[in-house]
Structure 1
Amino acid sequence: MKYQAENAVSSFFYYMWNAWSKEECKVVFGDMYRHFWDKWSVSADNAIFGAAERFFAGLSENYQKLLVERAVTLYDGRAFRKEPDDSDILVCKECGSRQLEIQVWINANTDERISYVYEDNDGHWCDGKWCEECVDQTFFCTKAEFTQKMQSWWESCGLESKEQITGLKVCDCPPAESPQTFVDAAGRWWNSRDYEYKREIYNKHTSNNE
């Protein structure tokens, strides 16, 4: 991402003050997050004021870049940026979680990422790809693809399943209009839910997410 130096500095500090957390550390540093979270904890334990500067100074240039890239992805100075498009976000193909890890080779002296442990295999196997929520190796897909998968599942659900999920009842609709009135109401209920809520319902009501 291209950005102006002054804006990047502002974005970085605003990010560290308002968004930095263990979860963000996972997003930025992947399977190395525990190492970097320990480094952050040491910086913050010394004194919270100046912790961001000390933490940044202790990173290699490559990891400094990763941290700044994340900051300017989320913030434009002191303002939130628009969320990345769902087609650019990777999730677990099985459960839809964004808590993903991938194995990489790291330079032991500089902490610089060199390459993935497993080269691209055209999606034939999932070695080196891990979902924290599934606690298993997995394939990745985009959030947009998983959202469509959940939508297709919802549309395939029968009336009884939709009654169970939504709490709405076909019998509550006018006899002359049901079940279409119920289907429309259930559809509005489903569409009003966010991604994480839909994902929870989907995973609860499907077997092996198929």
Structure 2
Amino acid sequence: MSNLTSFDNEEQDGYIKIDQYNEQSVKQVASYYPAILKSLGEDPEREGLIKTPERVAKALHFLTHGYDIDAANVLRSAMFEEEYSQMVVVKDIEVYSLCEHHMLPFFGKAHIAYIPDGRIVGLSKIPRVVDAFARRLQVQERLTNQIRDCIQETLNPAGVAIVMECKHMCMAMRGVQKQNSVTTTSAFTGAFENDVTRSEFLRLITASLA
């Protein structure tokens, strides 16, 4: 059963976000939190915490709603025949995810390129693929590979490249407590395994158009 029914956007005099959840799942997750709060030394019955279990349950469902998204279908919904064979780069894609080891956030940017081989994809679908995999319990290394593989296997381009740069709260808030550290991961297929092509991609994602 899906934990998340839908996250719909509706525009009426501006931007309104409508969140809908599987109420049974929300209640189940929320039911554990009074005991957790109590074990941490808190009073789950005090005013500020009465609704916290439900809020946390809804937040967790939102932060992990990628489990309900088929990333390949996202791409297939906007694939077009086009004889364009140069590099397509989408950079500075915001990434928000949860580390599966401590369930603390990690966040940053992804830079993605592909070289079409007869088909292109609607540009908005690439960030949506990022979200589909990021909104799960993750490690950055797996997340990088999943995005690369989904684009390569679904679109079948001449090559895919991805570089991801993220800050991890499990390093900044606990453990080693290094607030300024950034983790970079990369993955390449096809034409991007060539040094020249890969270097061009890296130059483009670090260049400023200003």
* TM-score class, shorter: under 0.3
TM-score, structure 2 as length reference: 0.26
TM-score, structure 1 as length reference: 0.26
Larger Rg: 1
**Structure with greater proportional helix content:** 1
**Structure with greater proportional strand content:** 2
